[in-house]
Amino acid sequence: MSPWREWRRRRALRQCRLPVQQQALQAPLPTSSTPFEQLPAVALDFETTGLDPARDQILSAGWVPIDGGRLRMGAAREVKVRPRDDAGVGQSATIHGLLDSDLAGAADERALLEELLPALAGRAIVAHAAGIERGFLRALLRRHGGVPLPNPFIDTLALARTLLAGGDRGRADAEGMFTLAAARARHGLPPHSQHSAAADAMACAELLLAQVEAMGGGEKVRLRDLD
């Protein structure tokens, strides 16, 4: 582990008041020189009521571990989350398809953390437009006595921009060339079932594997090339 990342992990452990996160923070994090083929990672996706972590809520979380450059499909998980304070899903239902009735018996935020944090322990976190997942995780943890995660984040959207050679990148971005579906299509990956947290997490993980291959393969590409 790099000295900076180890310092952040130890500081987080000292400041954390959330028992399940304290346990997760015991796991060492991968070093920047770790080859992708040896990198413990987990692809993560949230379905939310909007894009503002201070105001909006997580309605569903999906994740799938990546070990040895392979998806562990049997360990994939999706958890639906009941909105706080009896708030409904509102107009966001038109995007993610989740209705209030779908979440009536769902887990609360604390139950989500009890499942999610052990799955993130010691792993790089992979997401498409990772700032969204990072922001919602930070807000979620702070509400429950936790601290921001020191884990490295890998953003497949940022990698898509880096890998797109030539052309007007700004214009391409405006035309939706960096959506998860569009980025997958450029690597020859098939369409996926959109707006399910688990399906989007798996689609993101598959995209990362294709991106790593385009960058030279799992033996050559290291964590520092990705985060």
pLDDT of residue 159: 97
pLDDT bin (cut points 50, 70, 90) of residue 94 is very low
Radius of gyration of the chain measured on its C-alpha atoms: 17
Report the pLDDT averaged over residues 84-101.
59
pLDDT of residue 88: 64
Report the pLDDT averaged over residues 129-143.
97
Kindly state the percentage of the chain with pLDDT values over 90: 76
How many of the other CB atoms lie within 10 Å of CB of 26? 10
User: Range of 55's domain?
Assistant: 3-225
Kindly state the percentage of the chain with pLDDT values over 70: 87
* Number of domains making up the chain: 1
Average pLDDT score, the chain:
90
Distance CA 179, CA 189 (A): 13
| 219: pLDDT strictly greater than 90 | yes
pLDDT of residue 126: 98
| 119: pLDDT strictly greater than 80 | yes
pLDDT of residue 167: 46
Rounded to 10°, the helix 130-143/156-163 angle is 160
Q: What is the CATH number of the domain that holds 215?
A: 3.30.420.10
Phi/psi zone of residue 78: left (φ > 0), alpha (ψ -120 to 50 degrees), beta? Answer: beta
pLDDT of residue 116: 98
Residue 212 DSSP SS3: helix
Report the pLDDT averaged over residues 60-85.
95
Q: pLDDT of 16-40, one tens digit each?
A: 999 999 999 999 999 999 999 999 9
Higher-confidence residue of 204 and 2: namely 204
